[in-house]
Amino acid sequence: MGPLSSMVRKEFLQLRRDKAMLRMILMVPVIQLLILAYAINTDLRNVRVSVLDQDGTPLSRRLVAAVMETDVFVPGPTPATPSALKAQLERGETDLAIHLPRGFTRAIVAGRPGQLGIDVDGTNSSLAGRAAGYVQAALMQEARRALGGGPPAQIEAVTRFLYNPELESRHYMVPGILVMLVTIIAAFITGMAVVREKEIGTLEQVMVTPLGAGQFVAGKLIPYALIALFDLALALAVALLWFHVPFRGPLPVLLLGTVGYLAVTLGIGLFASSVSGTQQQAMFSVWFYLVFAVLLSGFF
């Protein structure tokens, strides 16, 4: 048996003795596959649609019904005025708003294009474009049937994408990547905190000092929280100055939300570090959490 085969055999024997790591290696991929295969679905489903039908004619009601009959859309709140329809989009109560103004059918009967408005929440650029396309296709198809196969130019849908009018993918992707990076950094560096002291034997020395449990935890979390905040500030500067991602709202609110988010993420990393016996186990535990955190966040 050569040196290489001996080294390989030693690693397998060492892994077999580490029961916790062996269970994680064998079980984690299966658990992740079973959960994520059911949880992750990029199909367009349950898009909330609010409709303001000020025309109130059989044709307008038929067009609205054609949209709602698809398995893509679900009814959202019913507004009473155009301003209420806009407010619903701003508050996030609906994903897509359709406005059929008065005189819509009358314009079509007179031989003019009947205009209707479609406002879409464009924060998720890919979903917004697909949702608007579904609505327009359903409207045009039903209009042709209702008008006896007339030209589709009789229906003129004016589509606006709010919050991301040009559907720039970077305006959606860059903020998501920023949060993902902060999550990975915070969880991984904290995941090594306690278990590293276990491995090098300094944890026992710390425990005999006058340091309380709360002070010990705070002392572990504060440095990594400051590092994560610095990384966030650096990444935010790159996002604003290099990628020109628009920033709206007060900066203190963002920082306050980041502190709360980091408290949870750092706590998860610290928990993984506390229950693990080796740095390998801690990294595997953090990775197990991060896969779910990233893929189920709605970013992808």
The predicted structure's pLDDT at residue 99: 93
Tell me the two tokens of residue 90: 């701003």
Among 115-124, 144-153, 194-203, top mean pLDDT goes to: 115-124
Structural domain count, the chain: 2
CA gyration radius, the chain? 27
The predicted structure's pLDDT at residue 257: 92
- For residue 40, being part of any structural domain is answered with no
Mean pLDDT score of the chain, rounded to an integer? 83
234-267 pLDDT per residue, tens:
999 999 999 998 888 898 999 999 999 999 999 8
Specify whether the CB–CB gap between 83 and 76 falls below 8 A.
Answer: no
- For residue 24, being part of any structural domain is answered with no
- Mean pLDDT along residues 4-16: 75
Same-domain status, 153 and 179:
no
Same-domain status, 182 and 285:
yes
Same-domain status, 200 and 284:
yes
Same-domain status, 185 and 284:
yes
Q: 129, 162, 195 — which closes off a domain? A: 162
- For residue 300, being part of any structural domain is answered with no
- Mean pLDDT along residues 202-230: 80
Confidence band of 197 (pLDDT split at 50, 70, 90) = confident
The residue ranking higher by pLDDT, 112 or 208, is 112
Same-domain status, 121 and 180:
no
Q: What CATH number is attached to the domain comprising 152?
A: 3.40.1710.10
Same-domain status, 61 and 133:
yes
21-77 pLDDT per residue, tens:
677 777 777 777 777 677 666 777 888 999 999 998 988 899 899 888 888 889 999
277/40 Cα distance (integer angstroms): 32
- Mean pLDDT along residues 70-90: 89
Specify whether the CB–CB gap between 161 and 117 falls below 8 A.
Answer: no
Same-domain status, 101 and 147:
yes
Specify whether the CB–CB gap between 167 and 129 falls below 8 A.
Answer: yes
Neighbouring-strand partners of residue 97: 50, 119
- For residue 259, being part of any structural domain is answered with yes
pTM, 2 dp: 0.68
Residue with tokens 């045009």: 140
- Tell me phi and psi for residue 10, to 5 degrees: -60, -40
Q: 134, 162, 190 — which closes off a domain? A: 162
- Tell me phi and psi for residue 77, to 5 degrees: -60, 145
Q: 113, 147, 162 — which closes off a domain? A: 162
